[in-house]
Chains A and B, each alone.
Chain A
Amino acid sequence: MKNLIKIAVRNLFRYKRRTLLTSSLIAFGVVLVIVFGGLAISFKTQMVGVITNTSLGDLQIHKKGYVESIDNLPLNLSLSDSEYTAVEQVLQATPEVEAYSPRIKFGAMISNYAQTSNIRLSAVRPEMEQRTVTDLVRRIKTTGAAQGEFVKPGEIVVPENLVKGLGLKIGDEIVLIATNKEGSVNALPVRIGGVVEAVLGPTGKDGYIHFSDAMILLRMDRPEVIEIAVKVKDFAKLGSVSGSLKKAFSAPRSAAEVHTWDQLSPFASIARIVDLLIMVVKFILISIVLVSILNIMTMSVFERVSEIGTIAAIGTPPRRILMMFLIEGFSMGLLSTAVGVGVGLGIIWILNLTRIDFTFGQMHISLAPSIPAGEVLLTVAIVMLVSLLASLHPAAKAARMEPVDALGHV
């Protein structure tokens, strides 16, 4: 075996320029996968992070059927007291749940007594909301005096674009008008306590008020929770946590249903496109490796026909000849990936020194590319495997040669 490797490696270095050219090509492919993968994965995690940590939460629980008509913000599909308590018990009994926040979501009119606009409101318990969507407070501008709770009873946090549209400023008095589920219209005067940057693009008109104010405005005797946002301890395990929660609520009499962030946000499709792009780049890499190794190994075999005849004549078993060429192709792949991984990680390291900032809608993303070790290993494994597969045909050809014919070949 040692000897086979020695012969294979020496044969690679026999045609230096050709080997260099081919391995550069493969290395370039590896660099492409690592750098692009690093950027894309980092973009995706950041984007998902912004969405889940500032508004959506990692997953949400609603009354059954709510998500189907979520665009209408129906108030009649709320969790009753006992239903909410049941959900809460499950959440508290699930150790993977970090925090949760009950919300009342509804549409309202907002008026500065001169102009009126519409707004989507989330009525929250600030201390619970803050623990669930941890980055939200960073997006809220207040007078500065407000420490702790970002929205107090009697206050509203309005989205940035409404501030511009209605000419509002912090401290202004406005009035909220809303229809409750019985159809009666009510109004509630509140003071602007803060301004929130819109997260989900320029169309977002999402404001925050205190849970107790929503109960007054909508004339609720008892809390009627519309939505519970949930943060999990380990985002990587979101799938299994949501799975076990879904199971807990799967009983036919259960009133609740579970949706993860990607089922609720249109940005999930962007995340999927990013995944698809990564796959395309990997596919390109596979093609590069396949074609270049197949090409170089086929050339190697044809150039060395009489050499193959010689070693076969002096007693090399066909299987060993096969191995010799497989090892040659494999070493080629190994050499190239080693270089590619080195250069790729180097580029990622440099990109980290000079972070890339850009704005995606209203979303500010600062890319600090990094690639999970698993991705790197996967890339290495792909190249190794494809190198081996690509060498198989030429190597088998060499092993099948008849020594007399091969020797006669000049």
Chain B
Amino acid sequence: MSLIQLHDVTKTYQSSGVPVDALRNLSLTIDREAFVSFIGPSGSGKSTLLNLMGALDKSTGGKVVVDGVDIATLDRAGAAAFRGNTIGFVFQNFNLIPVLTVYENVEYPLLMLNHVAVKERRERILNLLDNVGMLDQKDKYPNQISGGQKQRVAVARALVTNPKIVLADEPTANLDHTTAFKVISIMHEMQRTFGTTFVFSTHDPKIVGEAELIYTLEDGVIVHHATKEQQRGSQ
């Protein structure tokens, strides 16, 4: 069974009384350990799609099943617990907690889980910080590090709970090209190391090239999908 299944999913927003279809009868599946990217013009529904997969929002039609759980059945607290256990998030604006140090930011999601022992917690955090190359910065606060560094910390934070899926909505939009590339390669490396499924959205065609599977969205429907190799060939 696929890790993420979307069946005939529709999402309609009410924008000052006018219904806006952000996603229209969209169906797709994403398998375990995939490294998937969504591209498409602004307003095509990328964020909406990732929000549904991440149990941050609910669809207005169809069915979203993630790791065997029908998202529609979750209440607020249930959705929070589901996200904490199953999903890691990386945001466009990094969204680190400003009053916590790099180390504490990575630690935070683990504290929501309660079942990870102190010693193991520490090992995991240090190991991840080492993996993303931020170990020497662990006692700094977010406002003392650069954007690229923040996003690397955010990747470590997303991975610390050993989630099945990491969702990243335009994780590189606020980074310069080299840094963006570095962050994506770290994500890719993490995917290989931990077997995590990565799903991200982007505008940047060069970053897209890193993905193994690429979906193109337009007006709330998937208009194209291709593997890395096919994408290269078509360019």
Interchain CB contact under 8 A, B83 and A314: yes
Taking the closest CB of chain A, its distance from the CB of B121, in whole angstroms, is 12
| Chain A residues near B95 (CB-CB < 8 A) | 306-307, 309-310, 407
A339 CB → nearest B CB, Å:
22
Contact A310–B97 (Cβ < 8 Å): yes
A319-344 CB mask vs B (1 if < 8 Å, else 0) is 11000000000000000000000000
How far is B85's CA from A310's CA once the two chains are assembled, in angstroms?
15
Chain B residues near A316 (CB-CB < 8 A): 80, 84, 112
Q: How far is the CA of A306 from the CA of B109 in the complex (A)?
A: 17
Q: Using known A-B contacts A10-B99, A314-B108, determine if residue A404 contacts B51 with beta carbons closer than 8 Å.
A: yes
Q: Is B97 a contact partner of A315 (Cβ separation < 8 A)?
A: no
- Closest chain A CB from B135 CB (angstroms): 21
Q: Does A11 contact B (CB under 8 A)?
A: yes
What are the residues of chain B within 8 A of A372 when measuring CB–CB? none
A14 at the interface (CB under 8 A from B): yes
Q: Could you tell me which residues of chain A, from 386 to 410, have a CB within 8 Å of some CB in chain B?
A: 402-404, 407, 410
Q: Are A310 and B98 in contact (CB under 8 A)?
A: no
| Contact residues in B for A320 (Cβ distance below 8 Å) | 112
A311 CB-CB contact with B under 8 Å: yes
Docked complex Cα distance between A50 and B84 (Å): 69
Interface residues of B in 87-126 (CB under 8 A from A): 88-89, 91, 93, 95, 97-100, 108-109, 111-113
Interface range, B side? 20 to 34
Within 8 Å by CB of B54, from A14, A313, A319, lies A313
B56 touches A7 (CB 8 A): no
A14–B141 CA distance with the chains assembled, in angstroms: 12
Report A-chain residues with C-beta under 8 Å of the C-beta of B77. Answer: 317-319
Query: Do residues B85 and A307 form an inter-chain contact, with CB atoms below 8 A?
Result: no
B76 within 8 A of A: yes
B21 within 8 A of A: no
Query: Once bound together, how far apart are the Cα atoms of A402 and B80, in whole Å?
Result: 11
A312 at interface, CB cutoff 8 A: yes
Q: Does A3 contact B (CB under 8 A)?
A: yes
Which 7 A-B pairs have CB atoms at the shortest separation, nearest pair first? Answer: A315-B84, A10-B99, A310-B95, A315-B112, A404-B57, A317-B80, A315-B83
Binding site for B on A (CB under 8 A): 3, 7, 10-11, 14, 306-307, 309-320, 402-404, 407, 410
For this complex, 27 residue pairs linking A to B, each with C-beta atoms less than 8 Å apart, are A7-B97, A7-B99, A10-B99, A10-B100, A11-B99, A14-B98, A14-B99, A306-B93, A307-B95, A307-B98, A309-B95, A312-B80, A313-B54, A313-B83, A314-B83, A314-B89, A314-B109, A315-B83, A315-B84, A315-B161, A316-B84, A317-B77, A317-B80, A317-B81, A402-B57, A404-B51, A410-B93
